A and B are shown apart, each in its own frame.
Chain A
Amino acid sequence: MDRRRFIKLSGASLMLWPTAPVWSQMPSPNQPNTGKKLIWVLLRGALDSLHTIVPSTDSSYRQHRPKIANDLLTSALPLSADFALHPALQNLYSWYQAKQFLPIVAVGSGYDARSHFDGQDFLEAGLGHIDHDSGWLARAVNSHQSQGLAVSQTTPIAFRSSEQATTWYPSRFRQTKQDTYAALLDLYQESPSLLAQLEEGLATQQLLRDSGTASSGKANFKELTEACGTLMSAENGPDCAMLELGGWDTHNNQANRLNRQLTELDQGLAALKASLGSQWQQTVVMVSTEFGRTVRENGTAGTDHGTGSCMLLAGGAINGGRVLGTWPGLKAEQLYQGRDLKPTSMTFRWWATLLAQHWGLSEKQLAAVLPGSQKYAIELVRGG
């Protein structure tokens, strides 16, 4: 239906707005929608992987961290012979037992300086260099002909360069009257960028109204993940989404701060699973952070910016219940530049592996989505 006709109609009754949400207006995909969901959670601020997937048998660990490691080593939940999980991650632990959680240790993006902002941009671009206009998830949904959702006020870099992605975020303001929207659609006829954002905003609003998701407007992570799951499991809902959670830059008081942060992450992911319902079985959740933190604790019971970190994979489609990644060791001579965990595998290559196994992207498609990043020959996805 063309826009002018819509505006005409809307004068009569906009409540009967027949326009479907942005993702159902897309040209119908070549491959039938398989319903396989891909969700990326970006932890902004650099999660300390050593305080999350604890290298419990590495004898250097305790020496590097006299203040913050002891309690953790006692309370961490055993995963494999060599690793244990932070006790706040209770849901992830139960998923590990159910073989739906798969941590990968000593992962790096290839970004080798220590700026949060550049590190995040680098990760979101997925190109091996910073590009503010093209993101890896945007290229992935373009390639897979699926629809993306950023749970965010504006489009994060990861979703830039796709017409198939939109944004959603809760608001506490009263709803604007429908005729104002109609007038604005007309007002923006000569302003393409404003018009595009307005149309997407309206489509998303409509979808939420249809699904009856009421938001309390308080944007904590659990509510965001819940809404994300609801939107994704709607009929013709997006099959790719991005969530963000900040607060990981623990230069001081790390033990207490990460207790709170990891609890929020764990509960948010549990809410995501619950709201996805049966779709969880076909879901892959990837959790990344821009880089790791120093292996040695600093003088204020925290850690500073580092290099290698971890990647967390979860979901019904994940072939989990094991810890992957080659452990580089924590002896002084084994550290990257004498201070950081040395990455032994590449973030982008793990993503490529997942895109191939979960979404069936071909080598050629992968080369466009994550150029230069070969997939690993290891089964991450059940039957993948």
Chain B
Amino acid sequence: MRTYDQTNMAIIAANRFGYGLRAGDDLAPEQAKIWLKQGLMAPMFDKQLPSTTNMMATIAKNRMEKRRLKDDAQQLDSDKKRYPRQQHLAFLEHQFNSLIHAEHTIQWRLLAFFANHFSVTAQNDLMWVLAPALERDAIAPNLLGTFEALLLAVIKHPAMLIYLNNERSFGPNSKLGRRGKGMNENLAREILELHTLGVDGGYSQTDVIELAKAITGWSVANPVKENSAGFRFRDKGHEPGQRQLLGATYRQTGQSQGEAMLTTLARHPATRHHLCVKLARHFIADEPSEILVREMEEAWLQSGGAIKQVMLALIDSAESWKPARQKFKTPHEFVFSSLRLLQPPTIATKRLASALKQLGQQPHKAGSPAGYPDTEADWLGAKALMTRIDWATLAAGRYRRNADELMQTALADSASERTYNKVIRAESRAQATTLLLLSPEFQRR
């Protein structure tokens, strides 16, 4: 007689905080919390991947060449045309490998959370390379530091400045402004609405404009003319004068004015609450309990917004270990937890990226600075499920595995009688694996 037990902490830890266990993994339940904490390290990116400066310079050169060739009615050669997508795929390949094969994945889940919190979309050649570069350059190194440091690094990264049109936003009374270059409030609004205070965080339209003015001149170096790439403060485009934000006066001049505002916003109670609720919603439940959020906010307050301390509070909270599976996996979580279980010998990066697209969560393609949604209502739809079924059928058919062993790894004793019997009695090994991946227990975590 098999036992039915949903309280196995190893299963909860691996699925709720990471991308699940790999075929053959054997994690002792009493080690689960320690094991999770060991995983809280900065995700490592392959040192072979080209630097952001290098990629931006290559794209700038290719753009110039393209313009020259166009005058002679010629086209850029296909290698140069493909360059942005190929660099993007190189990043994805590296990341997919870590997600599928690494022992620890909690740090990759946290990276994905913040990459989505600071969502940028690959909408042109430059953004295809900058979107993954943002994760490597700005998010990963600050992932377990303070939110303040993370926020500053992200906002100053060319990916964010270009995506939200700040690189050419110049104050009306600045030198550049008086020559007809203007301002826009896109980045400032999203900082307030999405990145820090949240839409109900108590700011006004005036605050949006004041922040927008304070970050005028926050721009990106021209890799050809200025012989460098990355953040460049353009004093000539900065709106002169003191500013007011949320009732406080900022008398700084130049770049430090915007920095001071971002620091205030990062430390604001509304930001703390917004981020803690969002983290709890991502890891634990669509409607996280107030106790859990309070415990996380307390850790934030004690540590000055140290993300690692907030994550430790999350891991230590009793609220995080309830047996009920309260989250429906996003397509991203579903695909990578499936592949960790299946352990494919090789990964076809392009095909996998295309599968994620079909499932509704193409990497770096959220199409909005709000990023992808994060609740069951957003992901469990008729068509979404049908697409998931098709993908699971393909994946299970491609990598034939012993489904009852996989079920033991993935669910241990938490499989219901019905799921257990359906998997064991499936008509083929491929179908058994398909049913395991699509079972309610595997689709929820």
Contacts and interface: CB of A to CB of B under 8 A. Distances in A.
Interface of A: 44-45, 113-118, 132-133, 152-155, 160, 166-169, 171-177, 179-181, 183-184, 186-191, 193-194, 197-198, 200-202, 204-205, 246-247, 251-252, 298-300, 302, 304-305, 337
B385 A197 contact: yes
Given A175-B390, A187-B419, A299 B435 contact: no
Contacts of A166: 382
Interface in B354-380: 354-355, 358, 360, 367-368, 370, 376-380
Contacts of B422: 183, 186-187
B224 interface: no
B183 interface: yes
A113 to B, nearest CB: 8
B382 A201 contact: yes
Contacts of B193: 115
A166 B382 CA distance: 7
A340 to B, nearest CB: 10
A155 B440 contact: no
A337 B189 CA distance: 17
Contact of A154 (B377, B393, B440): B377
Given A173-B390, A177-B393, A187-B418, A152 B438 contact: no
A191 to B, nearest CB: 4
Contacts of A114: 189, 205
Contact of B367 (A168, A246, A337): A246
Contacts of A115: 193, 199
Nearest to B328: A193
A188 B380 contact: no
Interface stretch (B128-136, B163-171, B264-272): B163-171
A193 B380 contact: yes
Contacts, number: 155
Nearest to B427: A179
Contacts of A173: 355, 358, 387, 390-391, 394
A120 to B, nearest CB: 10
A247 B434 CA distance: 36
A300 B168 contact: yes
A176 B416 CA distance: 24
Contacts of A154: 360, 377-381, 383-384
Given A167-B383, A201-B382, A191 B440 contact: yes
A194 B184 contact: no
19 contacts: A153-B383, A154-B379, A166-B382, A172-B358, A177-B393, A180-B435, A183-B431, A187-B419, A187-B438, A190-B416, A194-B440, A197-B384, A201-B382, A251-B186, A252-B168, A298-B184, A299-B170, A300-B165, A300-B184
Contacts of B379: 154
A181 B389 CA distance: 9
Contacts of B383: 152-154, 167-169, 171, 201, 204
B93 to A, nearest CB: 21
Contacts of A113: 199
Contacts of B376: 193
Given A167-B383, A189-B418, A180 B434 contact: yes
A201 B385 CA distance: 8
A174 B390 contact: yes
Contacts of A202: 386
B184 A302 contact: yes
B228 interface: no
B301 interface: no
Most chain A beta carbons < 10 A, residue from B183, B355, B376, B382: B382
A189 B418 CA distance: 9
Most chain A beta carbons < 10 A, residue from B177, B377, B378, B434: B377
Contacts of B370: 116-117
A117 B182 contact: no
B368 A116 contact: yes
Nearest to B419: A187
Nearest to B354: A172
Most chain B beta carbons < 10 A, residue from A175, A252, A299: A299
A226 to B, nearest CB: 17
Contact of B205 (A298, A302, A337): A337
Contacts of B384: 153-154, 167, 197
B377 A132 contact: yes
Nearest to B426: A183
Contacts of A247: 367
Interface in B326-359: 354-355, 358
Identify the 3 closest CB pairs spanning chains A and B, nearest first. A299-B182, A154-B381, A173-B390
A304 B185 contact: yes
Nearest to A297: B182
Given A171-B387, A205-B386, A152 B183 contact: no
Most chain A beta carbons < 10 A, residue from B168, B385, B438, B440: B385
A162 B294 CA distance: 35
Contacts of B434: 180
Given A171-B390, A204-B383, A300-B169, 11 more contacts: A153-B360, A154-B381, A154-B383, A167-B383, A169-B383, A171-B386, A171-B387, A175-B390, A187-B418, A187-B438, A305-B185
B139 to A, nearest CB: 22
B439 interface: yes
A114 B188 CA distance: 13
A189 B184 CA distance: 53
Contacts of A169: 383, 387
B224 to A, nearest CB: 21
B281 interface: no
B393 A152 contact: no
B390 A160 contact: no
B435 A251 contact: no
A174 B172 CA distance: 55
Contacts of B438: 184, 187
B252 interface: no
B443 interface: yes
B181 interface: yes
B382 A299 contact: no
B431 A153 contact: no
B315 to A, nearest CB: 28
A117 B358 CA distance: 23
A312 to B, nearest CB: 22
Nearest to A45: B368
Nearest to B193: A115
Contact of B382 (A179, A188, A198, A300): A198
Contacts of A174: 390, 393-394
Contacts of A204: 382-383
A298 B182 contact: yes
Contact of B381 (A118, A153, A184, A252): A153
Interface in B370-426: 370, 376-387, 389-391, 393-394, 416, 418-419, 422, 426
A219 B386 CA distance: 16
Nearest to B370: A117
B418 A190 contact: yes
Given A168-B383, A171-B383, A183-B435, A299 B169 contact: yes
Nearest to B389: A176
A166 B384 CA distance: 11
Contact of B435 (A160, A187, A305): A187
A167 B184 CA distance: 37
